[in-house]
Amino acid sequence: MTSCPADDGSAFRLQFDYPNGDRWTVTVEATGCRTVTAGGAWTHAMAFPELSPLLKDLSAIVPSSYRLSS
């Protein structure tokens, strides 16, 4: 069990659709533990802004109207 008290439910969801019909969804939590999941599977990857530019890059390219929020 993980406690992420600063989690406000905001996240980025990236969907990859392939010509063969495969579809992968990657979700990156923008706050709290910043967990990264792919295809619905629980992973232990986290996107800390001080270690990776991932959240900054996503914020720059994804319009706010497309971001997930609670």
pLDDT tens profile 3-14: 777 888 888 888
3-state SS assignment for residue 68: strand
- Looking at residue 44, its pLDDT comes to 55
Number of structural domains, the chain? 1
State the DSSP H helix or E strand holding residue 16, giving kind and residue range, or none if neither: strand 11-17
- Looking at residue 42, its pLDDT comes to 58
Considering the domain boundaries, does residue 55 fall inside one?
Answer: no
Considering the domain boundaries, does residue 56 fall inside one?
Answer: no
Considering the domain boundaries, does residue 63 fall inside one?
Answer: no
| Residue 61 backbone phi and psi in degrees, to 5 | -105, -15
Considering the domain boundaries, does residue 60 fall inside one?
Answer: no
Considering the domain boundaries, does residue 68 fall inside one?
Answer: no
What is the residue range of 20's domain?
1-50
In DSSP notation, 18-63 reads -TTS-EEEEEEESSTT-BEEETTB----B--TTT-SHHHHHHHHS-
Considering the domain boundaries, does residue 24 fall inside one?
Answer: yes
Q: Is the pTM of this model over 0.75?
A: no
Confidence of residue 68 (pLDDT cuts 50, 70, 90): low
Considering the domain boundaries, does residue 44 fall inside one?
Answer: yes
Considering the domain boundaries, does residue 31 fall inside one?
Answer: yes
